[in-house]
Structure 1
Amino acid sequence: MEEPQQLTMNSSDNFQRNENGWQNSVIIIPALLSGSTLIIVAVILWKSISRKRERRKATKDKMRDVDGDWAVNAGAVYENSLDAPDPILEKKQLSGDWIVEHKVFVCNGHFGPISRAVLCRSGQTEGRQQVILKELSEHCSPGEVQDFIDLMKFYAHVCNHQSLVTMLWCQTQQRPQGVIMKAMSYGNLLTFLRNSHEVDGSFVLYVNEHVMKGMQTTEGTNPRITEKDVYSMASQVASGLEYLSGTHDLVHGYVAACNVLIHDDLSVQLCGLGLAALQHRTGSIHTRRATQVPLKWQSPERLKDANITEKSDVWSFGILLYEMVTLGSPPYPDLEPSQLPTKLQKHYRMERPAPCGQHLYDVMTNCWQWEAPLRPCFTDVLKQLQNSSVGADGLTPLPPMDALSWAEYLHVAGVPS
Structure 2
Amino acid sequence: MSSNSTTDNLCAPDDHLCITKEHMQAVIIVPTLLLLGTLVTLLFLFLRRYCPEHRRSRATAPRSFGSSHGHTQRHSHRSHLQGIDAPPGLNALEHEELPMSVQQVQEDVRSAPPQTSTERHHNAFSQVSALPLSFSIKPNDEVSLYRASMDNRDVILRVLKEKESSSEKQHFLDFASFVSGLGRHPYLPELLGVVSVQSPVMMVMEELQHGDLLGFLWRCRQDSAGSESSWDMTEKRIHIMAGQVASALEYLHSQSCIHGNVGARSVLVGGDLTAKLWGLGSAYRRGTQPSSPGEFQDMDMKKWQAPEVLARGVVGPSSDVWSFGILLYEMVTLGDPPFAQIPTTELLQHLQRGKHLKRPATCSSSLFSIISSCCHWNRKQRLSIPEVINKLQAGEKSANGSTVLRAPEPIDIERYLREAGYGEAYNYAVL
Equivalent pair of 1:278/1:284 in contact (CA under 8 Å): no
CA–CA distance in 2 between the matches of 1:152 and 1:305? 28
Q: In structure 1, which of residues 267, 273, 278 is the aligned counterpart of residue 274 of structure 2?
A: 267
CA–CA distance in 2 between the matches of 1:175 and 1:242? 36
Equivalent pair of 1:188/1:258 in contact (CA under 8 Å): yes
Q: Match for 2:149: what amino acid? A: V
Matched ranges for 1:276-355 at <5 A: 276-281=283-288, 289-290=296-297, 292-355=299-362
Match of 2:361, SS state, is coil
| Counterpart residue number, 1:118 | 149
Match of 2:299, SS state, is coil
Q: In structure 1, which of residues 168, 173, 178 is the aligned counterpart of residue 202 of structure 2?
A: 178
CA shift, 1:355, in A, is 1.3
Match of 2:311, SS state, is helix
Matched ranges for 1:206-221 at <5 A: 221=229
| Counterpart residue number, 2:76 | none
| Counterpart residue number, 1:384 | 391
CA–CA distance in 2 between the matches of 1:112 and 1:404? 27
Match of 1:356, SS state, is coil
CA–CA distance in 1 between the matches of 2:143 and 2:411? 33
| Counterpart residue number, 2:118 | 93
CA shift, 1:306, in A, is 4.9
Match of 2:248, SS state, is helix
Matched ranges for 1:66-145 at <5 A: 91-94=116-119, 99-106=124-131, 109=140, 111-120=142-151, 128-145=152-169
1:200 corresponds to 2:225: yes
| Counterpart residue number, 1:231 | 239
CA shift, 1:224, in A, is 0.9
Residues 98 and 310 of structure 1, relative CA distance in 2, 3 Å threshold: same
Instruction: Kindly provide the CA deviation profile for residues 115-147 of structure 1, in whole angstroms up to 9, marking residues without a partner as x.
Output: 111112xxxxxxx11110122333321211211
Equivalent pair of 2:300/2:421 in contact (CA under 8 Å): no
Larger strand proportion, structure 1 or 2?
Answer: 1
CA–CA distance in 2 between the matches of 1:291 and 1:135? 21
Instruction: Kindly provide the CA deviation profile for residues 74-98 of structure 1, in whole angstroms up to 9, marking residues without a partner as x.
Output: xxxxxxxxxxxxx999833356798
Matched ranges for 1:39-78 at <5 A: none
Q: Match for 2:373: what amino acid? A: N
CA shift, 1:389, in A, is 1.3
Match of 2:345, SS state, is helix
Equivalent pair of 1:154/1:280 in contact (CA under 8 Å): no
Q: Match for 2:163: what amino acid? A: H
CA–CA distance in 1 between the matches of 2:312 and 2:418? 24
Residues 278 and 159 of structure 1, relative CA distance in 2, 3 Å threshold: farther
CA shift, 1:341, in A, is 1.8
Match of 2:357, SS state, is coil
Equivalent pair of 1:187/1:263 in contact (CA under 8 Å): yes
Equivalent pair of 1:329/1:402 in contact (CA under 8 Å): no
Residues 379 and 174 of structure 1, relative CA distance in 2, 3 Å threshold: same
CA–CA distance in 2 between the matches of 1:166 and 1:284? 29
Larger Rg: 2
| Counterpart residue number, 2:103 | none
CA–CA distance in 1 between the matches of 2:268 and 2:324? 15
* Structure 2 portions without partners, runs of 5+: 1-110, 133-138, 426-431
Match of 2:129, SS state, is strand
Aligned residues: 306
Instruction: Kindly provide the CA deviation profile for residues 220-271 of structure 1, in whole angstroms up to 9, marking residues without a partner as x.
Output: x55111111100110011111111112x111111111011111121101111
Percent identity of the aligned residues?
A: 33
More deviation in 406-415 or 106-115? 106-115
* Structure 1 portions without partners, runs of 5+: 1-86, 121-127, 204-220
| Counterpart residue number, 1:14 | none
Equivalent pair of 1:117/1:133 in contact (CA under 8 Å): yes
Q: Match for 1:103: what amino acid? A: V
Equivalent pair of 2:232/2:404 in contact (CA under 8 Å): yes
Matched ranges for 1:4-23 at <5 A: none
| Counterpart residue number, 1:65 | none
CA shift, 1:182, in A, is 0.6
Q: Match for 1:92: what amino acid? A: S
Q: Match for 1:324: what amino acid? A: M
Root-mean-square deviation (CA, aligned residues, Å) is 2.6
